[in-house]
Copies of this chain bind each other. A is one copy, B any other.
Amino acid sequence: MKVLLVFAHPEPRSLNGALRDVAVAELQRLGHEVQVSDLYAQGWKPAIDRGDFPTLPPDERLLPTVASKAAFDAGELTQDVRDEIDKLLWADVVILQFPLWWFSMPAILKGWVERVFACGFAYGVGEHSDKRWGNRYGEGVLAGKRAMLIVTTGGWEQHYGPRGINGPIDDLLFPIHHGILFYPGCEVLPPYVLYQAGRLDSAGFDAAAERLRERMRTLAETPSIPYRRQNGGDYLIPTMELRPELGASGAEGFAVHLSEGSGSTA
């Protein structure tokens, strides 16, 4: 398989750097091809701005969705963005690796999504009618690919548990899993999460590394999170609400977007 690993930590000599090396080595040992987008090392431009749209006239308003669509359609996205798009199209598996900062991905990775997931490429595509609401949530340009997060946290596993104070990790990651990866069509695997990353001793690292290797060995067969496909009949169009007869009675929230019988929020 071909694997793209997008890495968002500023320090190669960090725990994240070590875990990345473990993952890449195991993938290569298995005969997979691997490309790494090391955002800090590449000097990735984190924020979408006028620099992304060199052909936008200076007196024209910058509306990112409009400008992004025009530049994508005209083949005028900047080279750094086109390189990342090419890597995404090349990959069978896309891995995003990052430390959880303020309960989400680092700014530099968020900016990678904002700039690379262009309008006309990753969103704003497909027919909108009474049968379909665009190619998204299970359909789209990344359909057929698998995606997965590798995440480290400073906090304890219990702090991210079902009743932990930070909120459940699956709910915190839902906007990324469902809103960024499933949206343009990826199947999303359960995340690899390493808690209390600041307190890891040598034995702890060895165990974490072996758990990560196992995830790399099972990329192809690990069951994906069973999100409902938008255009599969489960949602009312155009309000895109789950049909009243589906999901547990009165159920609300992120978990209703999992298929019946999946029995878990992840």
Contacts and interface: CB of A to CB of B under 8 A. Distances in A.
B163 A256 contact: yes
Nearest to A101: B114
B114 A239 contact: no
A180 B102 contact: yes
A63 interface: yes
A151 to B, nearest CB: 13
Task: Kindly report how many copies of this chain are found in the complex they form together.
Answer: 2
B102 A106 contact: no
Contact of A50 (B10, B64, B154): B10
Contact count band on A: 35 or more
A171 B240 contact: no
A106 B101 contact: no
Interface of A: 10-11, 13-14, 40, 46-50, 61-65, 101-108, 110-111, 113-114, 117, 137, 154, 156, 158-159, 161-168, 171-172, 174-175, 178-180, 198, 230, 235, 238-242, 247, 251-257
